[in-house]
Amino acid sequence: MPLVTLLDYAGVAVFAATGALAASRKQLDIIGFLFLASVTGIGGGTFRDLILGVPVFWVANSFYVVVCAAVAVLVFFGAHRVESRYRLLLWLDAVGLAAFAVIGAAKGLALTGSPTVSIVMGMLTAAFGGILRDLLAGEPSVLLRPEIYVTAALAGAAVYTFGVLAGLPVPACYVAGFLSALIVRGGALRYGWSFARYKSRPGRRPEDIP
């Protein structure tokens, strides 16, 4: 199996698992698990393919949907064994983020040749699945958490893109991009890495503004 296909299935499966974990946190039924797992697992790639104007990947190959369903069933019967489902969700989300950042960048670069588009597609593809899951499950958005998130996707997409443009072997670029994103996001989760936040003052609530 080519490396890119492996990364693609890995990204779909781990994002599906985060969707199913969110369903277990909300105590949904088995169909709720299947639904949230599918939407989260295939959401990012669907978005990527729509933007790039290529056929949506799971419409062309419905095995991706089967993977999501299998993951949902596994989580439904196994999630109670996990001590902290939210921490597991965040770590799996990190793996999915890294996989989708590189694949999004790879598809963007192959189709347009533009490094800007490539990096933006990496960021958007990687962030979209988690955003969708958090919106649908009513979780606080992973995007607004204090520690580094989108930056990790940006790093992975940029490493891949500049590696390929520099003429390095493509499989090495996949691995380097994936590991870069995973290390940055993993460090953020483990050690709380964050950038200086915009501190001046928080926004007031609209009704308090004269």
- Considering only residues 120 to 159 of the shown chain, the ones binding a copy of itself according to CB under 8 A are 120, 123-124, 127, 131, 135-141, 143-145, 148, 150-151, 154
How many Å apart are CA 76 and CA 20, to the nearest integer? 7
Question: Residue 100's closest CA among 7, 16, 186, 21?
Answer: 7
Residue 126 structure tokens: 């990687």
Q: Of the ranges 7-15, 16-24, 93-101, 158-166, which one interacts with a copy of itself (CB under 8 A)? A: 16-24
Q: Of the ranges 2-10, 94-102, 107-115, 174-182, which one interacts with a copy of itself (CB under 8 A)? A: 107-115
148-162 burial, b at 16+ Cβ within 10 Å, e below that, comes to bbbbbbbbbbbbbbb
- Identify the residue among 166, 167, 191, 199 touching a copy of itself (CB under 8 A): 199
Distance in Å, CB of 139 to a copy of itself, minimum = 8
Distance in Å, CB of 95 to a copy of itself, minimum = 19
Residue 46 structure tokens: 């669907």
Q: Of the ranges 9-17, 157-165, 170-178, 200-208, which one interacts with a copy of itself (CB under 8 A)? A: 200-208
Helices 115-137, 85-112: inter-axial angle, 10-degree rounding: 150
φ/ψ region of 196 (left if φ > 0, alpha if ψ in -120 to 50, else beta) reads beta
Distance in Å, CB of 112 to a copy of itself, minimum = 6
At position 188, the amino acid (one-letter code) is A
Distance in Å, CB of 127 to a copy of itself, minimum = 7
Nearer to a copy of itself, 53 or 167 (CB): 53
CB 122 within 8 A of CB 160: yes
88 sits near a copy of itself (criterion: CB under 8 A):
no
Distance in Å, CB of 32 to a copy of itself, minimum = 7
Maximum alpha-carbon separation in the chain: 61
How many Å apart are CA 87 and CA 201, to the nearest integer? 30
Residue 208 structure tokens: 């308090």
5 sits near a copy of itself (criterion: CB under 8 A):
no
Nearer to a copy of itself, 33 or 100 (CB): 33
CB 55 within 8 A of CB 167: no
Site string for a copy of itself, 44-83 (x = CB under 8 A): --x---xxxx-xx-xx--x--xx---------x--xx---
- Identify the residue among 6, 114, 169, 172 touching a copy of itself (CB under 8 A): 114
